[in-house]
């Protein structure tokens, strides 16, 4: 099986690249702005760029699109750039997938929902409350319309091992190890279902191997707010110097509205793969500290 990963220098793409390679797949991963020694250049916004990897020549069975602009507040204030990097990039990969006869895998989010009644099933009607969520939904709908046999997985609050350690948990771990004494202002009213990037890769491998189509939620068993998540991590460092200031989202007043009661339910996936065991945050912390 041949797989091309757009955005393989990031958290999800990087974990997928590593796991698919271990499983013996023929994998090529690309970068947009952050280059690694395991990725090739590919600009999803400029398909004629002479530095682009020859994707048509590679002719992958799957194109996994992990690249997007995920900075929610930035998207709110830079709507055109958000559209380009989330919707237009997806449009461009749809066209390539059609030419290659490839199946497209799109990475979705719980931010397509309004956060009033989460965690959510796959068939819950979407109702995004910010630009990021709207653009992710627009891109998702494009994939379903243009390539109905493609695969969409929805994820949220992803954490795990990555080169830059940009995700919330690993940044917190690094801060503690560096003996920083910052005060974190964290909302107590934003709930989600954190999921390990390695589990996303493992779940995707199963779905790809079984030629699945449609929408699947990929989420673990944790359902926590930001304060609870930070406390869970910091609990592994009894001598840490970090402080937490509990605050409401309204008090934080972010530029983009947040879906407060968010998260996803993996019921559909687990019915089809009942032996799959998701790691939770405690599993991950024990793993990286062992």
Cis preceding-peptide flag for 47 (omega within 30 of 0): no
Q: Taking the model in full, what pTM does it have?
A: 0.97
Cβ atoms of 119 and 263 within 8 Å: the answer is: yes
Question: Do strands 2-6 and 26-31 pair parallel, antiparallel, or not at all (unpaired)?
Answer: parallel
Q: How far apart are CA 230 and CA 170, in angstroms?
A: 11
Does domain 168-189+224-260 correspond to CATH entry 3.90.25?
A: yes
Domain limits, the chain: 2-160+194-222+262-279, 168-189+224-260
3-state secondary structure of 203: helix
Per-residue pLDDT of the chain (290 residues; tens, 9 = 90+): 999 999 999 999 999 999 999 999 999 999 998 999 999 999 999 999 999 999 999 999 999 999 889 999 999 999 999 999 999 999 999 999 999 999 999 999 999 999 999 999 999 999 999 999 999 999 999 999 999 999 999 999 999 999 999 999 999 999 999 999 999 999 999 999 999 999 999 999 999 999 999 999 999 999 999 999 999 999 999 999 999 999 999 999 999 999 999 999 999 999 999 999 999 999 999 999 99
Fold of the 2-160+194-222+262-279 domain: Rossmann fold (3.40.50)
């Amino acid at each position: 099986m041949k797989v091309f990963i757009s955005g393989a220098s990031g958290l999800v793409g990087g974990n997928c690249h590593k796991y698919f390679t271990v499983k013996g797949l023929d994998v090529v991963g690309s970068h947009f702005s952050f280059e690694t020694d395991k990725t090739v250049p590919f600009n999803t916004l400029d398909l004629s760029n002479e530095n682009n990897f020859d994707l048509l020549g590679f002719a992958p069975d799957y194109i996994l699109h992990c690249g997007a602009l995920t900075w929610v507040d930035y998207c709110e204030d830079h709507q055109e750039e958000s559209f380009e990097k989330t919707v237009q990039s997806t449009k461009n990969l749809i066209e390539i997938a059609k030419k290659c006869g490839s199946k497209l895998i799109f990475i979705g989010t719980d931010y397509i929902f309004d956060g009033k009644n989460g965690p959510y099933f796959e068939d819950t009607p979407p109702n995004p409350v910010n630009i990021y969520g709207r653009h992710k939904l627009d891109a998702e709908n494009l994939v379903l319309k243009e390539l109905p046999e493609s695969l969409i997985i929805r994820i949220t609050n992803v954490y795990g091992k990555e080169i830059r350690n940009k995700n919330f948990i690993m940044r917190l771990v690094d801060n503690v190890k560096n003996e920083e004494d910052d005060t974190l202002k964290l909302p107590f009213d934003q709930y989600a279902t954190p999921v390990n990037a390695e589990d996303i890769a493992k779940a995707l491998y199963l779905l790809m191997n079984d030629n699945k189509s449609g929408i699947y939620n990929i989420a673990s068993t944790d359902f926590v707010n930001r304060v609870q998540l930070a406390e869970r991590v910091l609990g592994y460092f009894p001598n840490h110097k970090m402080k937490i200031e509990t605050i409401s989202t309204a008090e934080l007043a972010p530029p983009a509205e947040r879906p407060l009661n968010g998260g996803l339910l993996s019921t559909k996936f687990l019915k089809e793969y009942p032996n799959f065991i998701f790691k939770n945050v405690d599993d991950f912390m024990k793993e990286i500290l062992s």
